[in-house]
Amino acid sequence: MATVELRFSALPAHVRTARLVAAAVARRSGVDESVLDEVRLAVGEACSRAVHLHRRHCPDRPVLVTLVDDVDAFRVAVADEAPPAEVGSDGFGALTEVADLVDAEAVPPGVGLAVIAGLVDDVEVEVGRESGLVVRMTWPTAS
Amino acid sequence: MATVELRFSALPAHVRTARLVAAAVARRSGVDESVLDEVRLAVGEACSRAVHLHRRHCPDRPVLVTLVDDVDAFRVAVADEAPPAEVGSDGFGALTEVADLVDAEAVPPGVGLAVIAGLVDDVEVEVGRESGLVVRMTWPTAS
Amino acid sequence: MDLSLSTRTEGDRTIVEVGGEIDVYTAPRLREQLVDLVADGKYHLVVDMERVDFLDSTGLGVLVGGLKRVRAHDGSLRLVCTQERILKIFRITGLTKVFPIHASVEEAVSATE
Amino acid sequence: MDLSLSTRTEGDRTIVEVGGEIDVYTAPRLREQLVDLVADGKYHLVVDMERVDFLDSTGLGVLVGGLKRVRAHDGSLRLVCTQERILKIFRITGLTKVFPIHASVEEAVSATE
Ligand SMILES: Nc1ncnc2c1ncn2[C@@H]1O[C@H](COP(=O)(O)OP(=O)(O)O)[C@@H](O)[C@H]1O
Ligand SMILES: Nc1ncnc2c1ncn2[C@@H]1O[C@H](COP(=O)(O)OP(=O)(O)O)[C@@H](O)[C@H]1O
């Protein structure tokens, strides 16, 4: 089980690094070329959401991305450490229509989750051990 | 101080991921374009060396790469966890001429260090806290 | 790849051509551009997305913000986009119902309501 | 970018054209190629590195291994390389003294000793 772990301080620039790494590892894991755009976008959304929350609540804590090249699947987990209070407000149910955005200047984290949910077939969101959410996404691989 | 940490299982394929990440973060940190090739090669060498040692001694332990975008420098540290016994045998002094290679099938880890030393102006190698070596490389940045 | 922005005027319409990646890192620059245009009295915007390679929800947020600004002045914000992977993101988020999306700049410029 | 390999013969020389990246990940394939050629009785090799984008010490090790193999049969292994960043790696490691390095395949093919 080959694993890559990326931990980065909560800065927008690092979201690009995370996308880059996710796409590179996904490709090597055997994720279909046609799906790599989806991986890049979904991982980017999950990381943008985490960076956004960290900057507001815990700017000194890193965001953690875990990439696992499993037997027949490529698994990504993006974990933030935002305080639990914040968590409820951006669950999947919270935002059905982005059209409802109240303050579009700061994109609510829920939009990112909505995009992920609309894009990726296999997604799970769980409450982290101490705080925050873990967004788990899985894609099938060829081998 | 923006930091990216990459931890990967000891597989050759991940060395490419590490190169990719190092080059991307270096570019964003303001490392001169003309030096990015050097960063890519040096980080790749340090990671190949670590992967090589881990596969022999501790295949289940990850290799750790830390990238720091400091005030006027970009700093990379590559840490392996090979047992101390191995460390002495591949210090900088150990190999002056690659031409002396005894068994070129398995490239001795010292060659990688020799390449790094020849390439990067600011390198330090220190013995890790518990085991292994930490190869520290620093490049100046524009900002 | 970075964000590229250029603007030009056709009649009462201002066309903003966007290229590259609109993400959490570059979106602030697009927002600034839209804010500046509205401050400048340009209330009928056409955002040409044909050269956009990547768009995420941060980018969507900036576009929605722009739409609100021009609407406050009875203006409009039309998008030009035929790229399937970009359209998909508007569809997923229900924004195809919010933005008029056109197949070409000509179509967007001549469109009314 | 991956490794590409192709071979052809000119007289008693076998030219191995290498493209892409020779690193810890791809070097095993180059090693296999060299081992196969020697097993096949090809002892005079010219490795054309003009299309190599990346070379690390693992790649150097494979080339040195190839050199030893052909020498065991009184053969030769010549390199073709004019790319400064690749040459630099041979220089740093002292390997410019070990490998004959040529500016073109023609030069390498017609070289003796
Ligand atoms: N949702 C998307 N919309 C458009 N392009 C996308 C999308 N997802 C992925 N891409 C692809 O992303 C590529 C560039 O993105 P990326 O590799 O993330 O950037 P960078 O190298 O700057 O970190 C584009 O060429 C495009 O093919
Ligand atoms: N020592 C080197 N020799 C040749 N090319 C190098 C070297 N170091 C860096 N490069 C550059 O590396 C590029 C490709 O490498 P890299 O990005 O590491 O690979 P990947 O994207 O497959 O992980 C080449 O186009 C070349 O410009």
- Answer yes or no: are the C-beta atoms of D104 and D80 closer than 8 Å: yes
D54 in contact with B at a CB cutoff of 8 Å? yes
A78-120 pLDDT, tens digit each: 999 988 654 444 443 333 344 444 444 445 557 888 899 999 9
All partners of chain C with 3 or more CB pairs under 8 angstroms: A
Query: Any residues with CB less than 8 A from the CB of D113 and at least 6 apart, and which?
Result: none
% residues pLDDT > 90 (chain D): 92
Contact C23 A112 (CB under 8 A): no
Question: Chain A: nearest CA to C12, how far in angstroms?
Answer: 26
d(CA A50, CA A11): 10
Give yes or no for residue B40 CB within 6 A of ligand 2: yes
Contact D68 B104 (CB under 8 A): yes
Tell me the three state secondary structure of residue C53: strand
Contact D57 B13 (CB under 8 A): no
Which segment of A52-66, A108-122, A126-140, B48-62 scores lowest on mean pLDDT?
A108-122
Confidence of residue B3 (pLDDT cuts 50, 70, 90): very high
pLDDT at B110: 74
Contact C61 A51 (CB under 8 A): no
ipTM: 0.75
Q: Which chain B residues are closer than 8 Å to A61 by Cβ?
A: none
Q: Which chain D residues are closer than 8 Å to B17 by Cβ?
A: none
Contact A21 B2 (CB under 8 A): no
D19-42 pLDDT, tens digit each: 999 999 999 999 999 999 999 999
Tell me the three state secondary structure of residue A5: strand
Q: Nearest C-alpha to atom 25 of ligand 2 is from which residue?
A: D53
Give the Å distances, CA to CA, from A121 to A36, A50, A53, B14, D14: 14, 21, 25, 27, 51
Give the Å distances, CA to CA, from D80 to A25, B84, D49, D100: 33, 40, 6, 9
Which pTM does this prediction carry? 0.79
Give the Å distances, CA to CA, from B103 to A131, B50, B106, B109, D69: 52, 19, 6, 12, 11
d(CA C50, CA C65): 20
Judging contact as 3 or more Cβ pairs under 8 Å, the answer for D and C is no
Burial of D74: CB neighbours in 10 Å, binned 0-12, 13-18, 19+: exposed
d(CA B53, CA A117): 41
Burial of C95: CB neighbours in 10 Å, binned 0-12, 13-18, 19+: buried
- Answer yes or no: are the C-beta atoms of A79 and A129 closer than 8 Å: no
Q: Per-residue pLDDT for A133 more than 70?
A: yes
β strands within chain A, DSSP E: 2-8, 63-69, 73-79, 122-127, 133-140
Q: List the one residue out of C101, C103, C104 whose CA is nearest residue C78.
A: C101
- Answer yes or no: are the C-beta atoms of D92 and B99 closer than 8 Å: no
> For B5, which residue in chain A has the nearest alpha carbon?
A7
> For C32, which residue in chain A has the nearest alpha carbon?
A105
Q: Which chain B residues are closer than 8 Å to A16 by Cβ?
A: 24, 28
Q: Say if strands C44-55 and D76-80 run parallel, antiparallel, or are unpaired.
A: unpaired
- Answer yes or no: are the C-beta atoms of A65 and A21 closer than 8 Å: yes
Give yes or no for residue D22 CB within 6 A of ligand 2: no
Give yes or no for residue B19 CB within 6 A of ligand 2: yes
Considering only CA atoms, give the Rg of chain A. Answer: 14
Give yes or no for residue C1 CB within 6 A of ligand 1: yes
Which segment of A83-97, B93-107, D99-113 scores lowest on mean pLDDT?
B93-107
